[in-house]
Structure 1
Amino acid sequence: MYSKNDLYITSNDFASFSNIIYSDRQEYSKEFFNNNIEIIEYSEEKQFKHITYKRLSFEITSGDVIFCNTNQIDNLFYHLSKLQKIEDIILITHQTDRLISKKYYQKKPPCVKKWLTVNVGFNNPNLHPIPIGIASDFSLKNLIFSDFQEFKKNNFKKDDVSLYVNYQNNTNYSERSHIAEMFVNNDWVNFDEPNLNKKEYMAKLANSTFVLCPWGNGIDTHRLWETLYLGSIPITKSHPTFNFDEELPILFVNDYDEITYDLLNNYLDSFEFKNYNFDILTKNYWRKYINDMKSNHSYSETVNEKFYVTAYFKSKRVTLNKLSSMRKKIVTYFYKAKRRLGL
């Protein structure tokens, strides 16, 4: 039996496993407004009261574990690339949907020995996928730590086959829009619109044998981890970012048209708890996983960001945010036009 405090992992837990938090998204607090911090963005909106920041100076020792909001990784790489004697850094990135591709991985400075991240785009022995987990406590529209009760792994072994389908198309229209029509005439499939309150939504997840978890803005999704923590079996497409998940009760397919009643029934019939490592759902597992990578060193350096570096990366962020906003609008208009044309 696992204690509740050791379950329901979030991005902020991964930040807590590090020696240095370079950039993080946390619950909004005025304490972050100080001379050593640059505020990237913040919101005092009740449902998503948060702040994203980065440090303007920090001390780093060879062998340290450093956490970074993935959107600020270019800024961090700028600093790390200038440290000629620092080595064996363990990097953790999280909190965004950015895919870490082979091209992007090649930008990492030589001092980074291991890189742990969500949304891994390819296989590399020094690039390690980690879970997106559940949403942080400040994201009240999502399921958060306080919404969950005791974890009961026996819930995975249900008597009847059922598949639950409930998601927003607009988070990944090309991936999601065609899926539902594959299952409309099956009485073992239950559909809902994505407008349930949290209590209703949790009950539907917990009472379903299988839950469809298609890729969204990123490959990994909160829904997949919500499903596991509630004792149901997620179904999603195979991807390198799920390599460690093969030890969990997740049904991977190459395409969603492979999903049939017989496939699900056979999976359920062959379900054995001994085949899975439920420790992967715990914070202690990931804390140890990271600590086992660390090496002890004594050499340290201090990083102090110059004002012109701060100005450059701020300007770059503004430009990229504008381009991203334009792209989202174009994609939205494109798919609205397709729907109107019946395509």
Structure 2
Amino acid sequence: MEKHYSEFICPQNFRNLADWIFGWPNGVFDEKIETTTTNGYHLAPCLPSGSIIYVKTDYLDTFFHSIYPYLTNRFVLITAQGDASAPEKFLSYLHHIDSKIIHWFGQNADIESSKSDRFTPIPIGLNCFEMANGIRHIYQQNPNHTLPSIFGGQDEPQQYVHLLDVTHKILNGHPAKQLLLVNFQRLTDPTGIRSRIWKILCDQQQYTSTFVVCIDKPDGVNISGLPAIYTRNRRYPFWLSPRGNGLDCHRTWEALYLDAIPIVWNSTLNPLYVDLPIIILNDWSELTEQFLRSKLNEIATNKIKNPSFYRFDKLRFSYWRRLILNKSRHSVTATKRENYCWRAKISECCKNTKIKRTERKNKKNFNP
């Protein structure tokens, strides 16, 4: 059965906007869904203009080589659910005078925002199949900390849990002695930055004895143990969140949902962090106790005394949903979708298009 986590940013929520999907890892997350992604040659010409196509980032080479040439109408592209970066390698498809891409929304963005006005970075958010229930468990302990829905529509909850208990403790004179949590698997990034950070901050006693706490993280996600892990981690107001195997990191977004302050590195992901309580570093040497205590008081004060200072609506999927749908053929208020090809038989997907049955028949040997 498909699981739904409308209050969070999750890869499958972006996927659920799509008219057609190419490369979703069916079965990995215990979802029982029927898709038609293996019939790309048949389906591609059936998509009406303004349709949304979701491509697993690792499949982009195959998509542009084997699917893109047969698309007959312009479309909105979403790329996610993978560690590969985009769209730098494929910008020619986006900027070509005859480009079929209306707009591209992608995770792990590897270009500066000024490089294309037709590309919008989207956050990796949570792996909701693994993390959402653990965060919901923490929310159940603080049910009175809420914010109203952003748009008041059917695409979002009536209210969101918005934790501020850690922030209140800080402003009430109970600051943590150890400010910074370093808790990640050291070998999951190809650049080696995680190992270098661990060596500097955790293997040198001068840091760990003052304001830094280091807790090694094993491989994988301990789903059943996440409530206890989150409870422990929330003792520390700052969470260091260096890149993982991809540029973006789930830890950044876990922290934001749990009233912690993520610390990230200056990168092409900076547009995602605008107007959010996130610290962006240029160098690890900026991480001094004095700097963190100053930023802690500043951010906590802004959260409580100026509630509109931060754009917490950017943590809600409905914010991103509307950005995407407004570029597509779909209305943001529609409750029923037509030509929803990844959950339909080919005949149902194509029945409202002008493509002839004989044209599809001639393409029967295609196998992407």
TM-score tier (shorter): 0.7 to 0.9
Matched, 1:148 2:165: no
CA contact (8 A) 1:62 1:300 kept: no
> Is contact 1:205–1:227 with CA below 8 Å preserved after alignment?
no
Q: In structure 2, do the counterparts of structure 1 residues 145 and 163 end up closer, same or farther at CA, with 3 Å as the change threshold?
A: same
Residue identity in the other structure for 1:62: S
TM-superposed CA distance for 1:69, in Å, is: 1.2
- Seen in structure 2, the aligned counterparts of structure 1 residues 19 and 146 have a Cα distance that, compared at 3 Å, is farther
The AA in structure 1 aligned to 2:246 is: G
Q: What is the aligned partner in structure 2 of residue 18 from structure 1?
A: 18
Distance 1:277 1:94, change over 3 A: same
Match of 1:79 in 2: 67
Choose from 107, 116, 139 the match for 1:118: 107
Taking structure 1 as reference, are residues 280 and 29 closer, same or farther at Cα in structure 2, changes over 3 Å only?
A: closer
Residues 205/12 of structure 1: CA separation in 2 closer, same or farther (3 Å cut): same
Q: Deviations over 1:24-57 (max 9, x none)?
A: 234346764x8x454xxxxxxxxxxxxxxx7563
SS in 2 for 1:177: helix
Q: Is the 8 A contact 1:68 1:92 kept in 2?
A: yes
Among 130, 149, 155, the residue aligned to 2:122:
130
Whether the 8 Å CA contact 1:62–1:296 is kept in 2: the answer is no
Shift of 1:221: 0.8
Q: How many residues align?
A: 285
1:19/1:64 contact within 8 Å kept: yes
1:172-210 Cα distance to aligned partner (Å, 9 max, x none): 251111112333423111111114742332123322110
How far apart are residue 100 of structure 1 and its match? 1.1
Correspondences of 1:83-232 after superposition (within 5 Å): 83-84=71-72, 86-87=73-74, 89-108=75-94, 110-123=99-112, 124-137=116-129, 142-145=130-133, 147-149=135-137, 150=139, 151-155=161-165, 157=167, 158-159=169-170, 160=175, 162-172=179-189, 174-183=192-201, 184=204, 185-186=206-207, 187-195=210-218, 197-232=225-260
Tell me, yes or no, if the aligned pair for 2:54 and 2:78 is still in contact at 8 Å: yes
Instruction: Give the Å deviation of 1:76.
Output: 2.8
Partner Cα separation in structure 1 for residue 213 and residue 354 of structure 2: 57
Between Structure 1 and Structure 2, the one with more strand by share is 1
Structure 1 CA distance for aligned equivalents of residues 327 and 32 of structure 2 = 35
Distance change (3 Å), C-alpha of 1:279 and 1:238: same
| Separation (CA, whole Å) in 2 of partners of 1:258 and 1:61 | 51
Establish whether residue 244 from structure 1 lines up as the match of residue 262 from structure 2. Answer: no
Residues 107-158 of structure 1 show CA distances to partners (whole Å, capped at 9, x for unaligned) of 4571102111111101222111111111141xxxx42345524233324525
* Preserved contact between residue 129 and residue 242 of structure 1 (Cα < 8 Å): no
CA contact (8 A) 2:93 2:101 kept: no
Distance 2:264 2:68 in 1: 36
Across the aligned residues of Structure 1 and Structure 2, the Cα RMSD in angstroms comes to: 2.9
Q: Give the superposition deviation at 1:102.
A: 2.2
- SS at 1:265's partner residue? helix
Q: How far, CA to CA, are the matches of 2:37 and 2:48 in structure 1?
A: 20
Selected match of 1:278 from 312, 325, 328 = 312
Query: Could you tell me how far 1:106 is from its partner in structure 2?
Result: 2.1
- Secondary structure at 2:199 match in 1: helix
Q: 1:231 deviation in Å?
A: 1.0
> Aligned to 1:120, what secondary structure does the other structure show?
coil
Which stretch of structure 1 is more off in the superposition, 194-203 or 112-121? 194-203
CA contact (8 A) 2:79 2:107 kept: yes
Q: Supply the distance in 1 between the matched residues of 2:235 and 2:246 (Cα, whole angstroms).
A: 26
TM-score (norm 1): 0.73
Say yes or no: does 1:65 pair with 2:52: yes
CA distance in 1, matches of 2:163, 2:241: 19
Return the offset for 1:19.
2.7
CA contact (8 A) 2:78 2:105 kept: yes
Q: In the superposition, relative to structure 1, how do residues 121 and 156 fare at CA in structure 2: closer, same or farther (>3 Å)?
A: farther
CA distance in 1, matches of 2:295, 2:354: 52
Q: Secondary structure at the match of 2:262?
A: strand
**1:257 and 1:288, CA in 2 relative to 1: closer, same or farther beyond 3 A?**
same
1:118/1:220 contact within 8 Å kept: yes
Q: Is the 8 A contact 1:116 1:127 kept in 2?
A: yes
Residues 245, 31 of structure 1: CA spacing in aligned structure 2 closer, same or farther, 3 A cutoff? closer
CA contact (8 A) 1:280 1:286 kept: yes
SS at match of 1:61: coil
Change (3 A) 1:60 1:262: same
CA contact (8 A) 2:261 2:277 kept: yes
Structure 1: gaps of 5 or more residues: 39-53, 314-343
Give 1:281-296 correspondences, 5 Å limit. 281-295=315-329
Residues 40 and 67 in structure 2, CA contact (< 8 A), matched pair in contact too: no
C-alpha separation in 1, matches of 2:196 and 2:230: 25
Equivalent-residue separation in structure 1 for 2:55 and 2:256 (angstroms): 26
